[in-house]
Amino acid sequence: MNRIRQERIKKHVESCKFATIKELHDLFPDVSLMTLHRDLSALEEMGVVTKYRGGVRSVRQADDLEFNIRMKENNTGKMSMVKKAMKLLHPKSSIFLDASTSNLMLARNLPDMELNITTISPNIAIELCRLTNSTVNLCGGTMNPRTLSVSGANTMSILENINIDLAFIGVSGCSAEAGFTCGTEADMLIKRLIIKKARTSVVMCGADKFKRIMPFTFASISDVDYIISDEPLPEDFIKQKGNSGAIIL
């Protein structure tokens, strides 16, 4: 019976892209919440769904979830990655933060040191206004309301003309075969450009992202200098890394 129920849950989540625990419990009122959570854990182990606080989402989405939903996911893991990222910071550096939720958490915890910070995220720029010793540059461009980021020709033009010492780049999905992936072509173009321009590129990749593959690959393992995760990387990913030179934190 549990396999039949799990298959129904799988089809519902894939159809709706995400579902709350309450919504799923309404679909199966005769099933306890504990049993429902066990079903969701089993589906997550199969790589079908990813859990976040209060719900689950399908791993087969064509694009990224809305920013406010992603902000509820794996915050403990994000904080773990932020602590590792801050060890790479040096005063008077020029750094780049893309519009990932990991970078928003990094912005909230950045020490008030002399930095030149560029971002494509208006809400990250606002968060950085608390700093008195840093210069904050917000790129212009076309706003994406789902990801709360800007992109387009104007954005690319600005990024082409800046120098970056250290770039922190978020990931929507990752696998040993596909590399680091994201949900839109515009996001892919920005991430590729930043990795090419930055003296040091740092990918922020939570363990939950290793269960997803998004439509656009923006980098392979050998393209980046550091990989920061909140848990040990999968064995196949470590084998793929080989002698690429990327440092895992």
- Beta-carbon count within 10 A of 200 CB: 16
| Whether the predicted pLDDT of 161 surpasses 90 | yes
Considering only CA atoms, which of 170, 155, 164, 222 is closest in space to residue 197? 164
Q: Residue 131: what pLDDT?
A: 94
Contact 110, 86 (CB under 8 A): yes
Say how far apart CA 166 and CA 180 lie, in whole Å: 18
Segment 78-94, tens digit of pLDDT: 889 999 999 999 999 99
23-66: pLDDT as tens digits: 888 888 888 888 888 888 888 877 777 776 677 777 655 445 55
User: 162: Cβ–Cβ under 8 A, 6 or more apart, which residues?
Assistant: 94, 118, 137, 197
Q: Are strands 247-248 and 18-20 parallel, antiparallel or unpaired?
A: unpaired
Q: Over the stretch 173-210, which tens digit does the pLDDT of each residue have?
A: 887 778 898 888 899 999 999 999 999 999 998 887 88
| Domain 2-60, classified CATH 1.10.10.10, yes or no | yes
| Rounded CA separation 29/25 (Å) | 6
Res. 225 pLDDT band, cuts 50 70 90: very high
In this structure, the dihedral spanned by the alpha carbons of residues 68, 71, 73 and 79, taken in order and rounded to 10 degrees, is 180
For the 70-248 domain, the top CATH level (class) is alpha beta
Q: Report the C-alpha gap between 22 and 30 in whole angstroms.
A: 13
Side-chain half-sphere CA neighbours of 58 within 13 A = 15
| Alpha-carbon gap, residue 214 to 57, rounded angstroms | 14
Say whether 70-248 and 2-60 share the same fold: no
How many CB atoms are located within 10 Å of the residue 59 CB? 21
Looking at residue 171, what DSSP letter applies? -
> CA 119 from chain center: how many Å?
15
Whether the predicted pLDDT of 118 surpasses 50: yes
How far is Cα 134 from Cα 110, in angstroms, rounded to an integer?
Answer: 10
With cut-offs at 50, 70 and 90, classify the pLDDT of residue 147: confident
Domain ranges within the chain, ordered by starting residue: 2-60, 70-248
Measured in Å, how far apart are the chain's first and last C-alpha atoms?
Answer: 42
